[in-house]
Structure 1
Amino acid sequence: MNHCSHCGEKVTLIIPPGDDRERHVCNSCDTIHYSNPRIIAGCLPIYEDKVLLCRRAIEPRYDKWTLPAGFMENGETTEEGALREAWEEARAKIAVDSLYTMFSLPQINQVHLFYRGQLSSLDFEPGPESLEVRLFSEDEIPWDDLAFMVVGKTLKHYFNDRQSGQYPVRSEDLVHPKGRDWKPPKPARYTLGNTGPVNPDA
């Protein structure tokens, strides 16, 4: 951040009085700009013994398979965001069962939430962010071609839990394989057609 969104003047990264971490503070109007974690909401769409996956038509992880998910919009609940993403990416209508997985990724300032739900119909098709949308049974999942770590973990939890028929909420803090001190490269600016989680290891 270079300029204050309140008055347009330059900002400085300092620890404000009474705080314990650096914030961008305006040099002119003293407005403190807080940067908070971003929430990604998504769905685990289920039909009988299969799950619905989308093959990405956008970066990052173009051409890789994922669950429908994306950044929440202002004014919506996490469930509404998950359902919107399912419609935008797969034109899928889903009856939500419950929140299923929650992952904290502090190194990239993200929280990922996935809702488990049933496909209301088989009338789905790729949205503008997907190349292809398909149902997969467990032995058909393209494990080596999944876009994000959180997608693989959610799928593995689901297929394990399906054996007992019990689906507790799974919560996990994920640390990058390179360690807690690893920092992702600075992402490119968002442009039309470039949306979604900024880090391929998410």
Structure 2
Amino acid sequence: MMTPERTENFEHRIPEGDDRTRRVCGTCGFIDYQNPRIVAGSVVCKDDKILLCKRAIEPRLGFWTLPAGYMELGETVEQAAMREAQEEACADIEIDRVLAVYSVPRIGQVQVMFRANLMSDFKPGPESLETELVAWKDIPWAELAFPTVVWALTHFAETRDQANFAPFANPPGTEKLTT
């Protein structure tokens, strides 16, 4: 028979040598670190069009996004981006390069976005209602799910014809969205 997890021995305190309050087991001293989660995704292109996925899940059900999601243990960030394209759009992609790394501390995320090329057909996966290749002029800006999708698309547009560039970070003036 399984015993339920006991949490009554945990307390919030600053462990020795640390600088912030953590959950610490009062019995054994185990520190329960709570760290940001990594999201991996891509701006996926084919013939000057961008692959968008309409979300079939919350948050932001019914809004458009780029193929992206949480990284799993045991995979590289590139593998995570390729898996997410497969899960959300049944698409095989080829990673070109890192486009941006966004910090979203308000929700405990670091988002690594790549530029990628579509290498296969695509269709909605289990997390998508629809998938479409969209021309830049047809992007449904008012229906995009998250600010980081807008940032990634904007940064992609700035580098569309560049082979080499430094990866982007959060745009200036976006502090309210990230804290």
The two structures have a TM-score, normalised by structure 2, of 0.90
AA aligned opposite 2:45: I
| Cα drift, residue 167 of structure 1 | 5.2
The residue number in structure 2 matching 1:175 is: 175
- In the alignment, is residue 56 of structure 1 matched against residue 39 of structure 2? no
- In the alignment, is residue 15 of structure 1 matched against residue 10 of structure 2? no
The two structures have a TM-score, normalised by structure 1, of 0.80
The residue number in structure 2 matching 1:140 is: 138
The residue number in structure 2 matching 1:65 is: 64
Q: Matched residue of 1:134: which SS?
A: strand
Cα pair 2:99 2:155 within 8 Å, conserved? no
Match for 2:122 among 100, 121, 124?
Answer: 124
CA distance in 2, matches of 1:15, 1:92: 46
Count of residue correspondences? 172
AA aligned opposite 2:119: S
Q: 1:98-121 CA deviation, whole Å, 9 max, x = no partner?
A: 111110112222100111111112
Q: Matched residue of 1:92: which SS?
A: coil
Q: Matched residue of 1:125: which SS?
A: coil
Paired-residue identity, %: 47
Cα pair 2:13 2:21 within 8 Å, conserved? yes
CA distance in 2, matches of 1:155, 1:119: 16
Cα pair 1:9 1:28 within 8 Å, conserved? no
Question: 1:1-202 alignment to 2 at 5 Å?
Answer: 9-121=8-120, 123-162=121-160, 164-166=161-163, 168=165, 169-172=167-170, 174-177=174-177, 180=179
| Cα drift, residue 53 of structure 1 | 0.3
| Cα drift, residue 29 of structure 1 | 1.3
**Structure 2: which 5+ runs fail to align?**
none
Q: Matched residue of 2:162: which SS?
A: coil
AA aligned opposite 1:21: R
**Structure 1: which 5+ runs fail to align?**
181-202
Cα pair 2:40 2:77 within 8 Å, conserved? yes
CA distance in 2, matches of 1:17, 1:41: 34
CA distance in 1, matches of 2:18, 2:156: 41
CA distance in 2, matches of 1:137, 1:36: 37
Q: Matched residue of 2:169: which SS?
A: strand
| Cα drift, residue 8 of structure 1 | 5.2
CA distance in 2, matches of 1:142, 1:167: 28
